[in-house]
């Protein structure tokens, strides 16, 4: 579980040809990939396509969201059990774009986290402050409050499945708040990651905090990855745009191994 975790969030990008082109250029072999957990998260419609192209590579399949309901008459939704059934292992929950555009809050994320774990998926819980909150000095307060709410009601066994992705909203390349396309500094992100592990220790225990994977998301590129990877409590990254180029994604993976 303590292998670094590098997650590609392809968002609503790529068609079949683009996905095939990515895999034709992705050259990391299993000797390298076995030293980390590298996860590809395409849109729902291409999950099976990506699964077939992964083949025997040591890459893992993830989804970008799940329904907050187990099953039933919820047109357009996709259940956690259905994703697990086709081979998904991971699911991104509470991404800032889901929060901004679809009004998802911590309570809903918490419900999805429990459903993910129930269906043997690793939930990747995204949380972070926006620009105004950062400028007002509220980063730690916002992150701790979101973390406690998203982990509410989980037990010691369930927390072992959870990955936290700290993604300061103002640092996400596609965010309207990030007009300059800059990431958080490694040192600043490290402070927040350390805070997250402290809160997990308070809620559960020191062992849970030590085992917890806390990854960073927000304008991650090959240019800044070495600094992020050098931090003690940054256990991986959630990568957006840079994950859609096979070469840049490979460089990001190599930085952690």
State mean pLDDT over 158-170.
95
Instruction: State pLDDT tens for residues 98-145.
Output: 999 999 999 999 999 999 999 999 999 999 999 999 999 999 999 999
Report the predicted TM-score, pTM, of the whole model to 2 decimal places.
0.95
Among candidate residues 104, 129, 167, 193, the one labeled active-site is 167
* Full DSSP string of 136-189: TT-HHHHHHHHHHHHTTT--TTGGGG-EEEE--GGG-TTSTT-TT--PPPHHHH
Element (H, E) at 90: strand 90-93
Angstrom distance (rounded) from CA 218 to CA 230: 16
Specify the higher pLDDT residue, 149 or 175.
Answer: 149
Angstrom distance (rounded) from CA 156 to CA 146: 19
Instruction: State pLDDT tens for residues 60-76.
Output: 999 999 999 999 999 99
Angstrom distance (rounded) from CA 241 to CA 68: 27
| Among candidate residues 205, 196, 200, the one with its CA nearest the CA of residue 234 | 196
State mean pLDDT over 73-82.
98
How many residues are recorded in the chain?
A: 257
Instruction: Count CB atoms within 10 A of the CB of residue 223.
Output: 12
State mean pLDDT over 240-257.
96
Environment class of 220 (CB within 10 Å of its CB; exposed 0-12, middle 13-18, buried 19+): buried
For the chain, counts of helices (H) and of strands (E): 12, 8
Residue 107 is a catalytic residue: no
Angstrom distance (rounded) from CA 175 to CA 125: 18
169 touches 128 (CB < 8 A) = yes
State mean pLDDT over 175-187.
67
SS3 state at 202: helix
SS3 state at 91: strand
* Full DSSP string of 53-72: HHTTSS-EEEES---SSSSS
Spell out the domains of the chain, with CATH numbers in brackets. 5-255 (3.20.20.70)
Among candidate residues 48, 95, 135, 245, the one labeled active-site is 95
Angstrom distance (rounded) from CA 236 to CA 7: 8
Indicate if the pLDDT at residue 153 is higher than 70.
yes
Residue 167 is a catalytic residue: yes
pLDDT at 172: 73
């Amino acid at each position: 579980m303590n292998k670094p975790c590098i997650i590609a969030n392809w968002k609503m990008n790529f068609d079949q040809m683009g996905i095939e082109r990515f895999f034709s250029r992705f050259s990391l072999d299993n000797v390298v990939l076995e030293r980390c957990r590298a996860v590809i998260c395409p849109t729902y419609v291409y999950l099976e396509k990506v699964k077939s192209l992964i083949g025997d590579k040591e890459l893992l399949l993830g989804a970008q969201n799940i329904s907050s309901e187990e099953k039933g008459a919820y047109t357009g939704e996709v259940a956690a059990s259905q994703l697990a059934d086709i081979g998904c292992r991971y699911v991104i929950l509470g991404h800032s774009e889901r929060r901004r555009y679809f009004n998802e809050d911590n309570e809903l994320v918490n419900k999805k986290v429990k459903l993910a774990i129930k269906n043997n998926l690793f939930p990747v819980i995204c949380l972070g402050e926006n620009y105004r909150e950062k400028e007002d000095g509220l980063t730690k307060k916002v992150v701790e409050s979101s973390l406690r709410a998203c982990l509410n009601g989980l037990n010691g066994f369930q927390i072992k499945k959870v990955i936290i992705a700290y993604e300061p909203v103002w640092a996400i390349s596609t965010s309207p708040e990030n007009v300059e396309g800059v990431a958080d500094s490694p040192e600043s992100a490290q402070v927040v990651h350390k805070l997250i592990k402290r809160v997990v220790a308070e809620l559960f225990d020191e062992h849970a905090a030590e085992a917890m994977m806390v990854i960073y998301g927000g304008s991650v590129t090959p240019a800044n990855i070495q600094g992020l990877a050098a931090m003690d409590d940054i256990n991986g990254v959630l990568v957006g745009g840079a994950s859609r180029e096979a070469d840049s994604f490979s460089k990001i993976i190599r930085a952690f191994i």
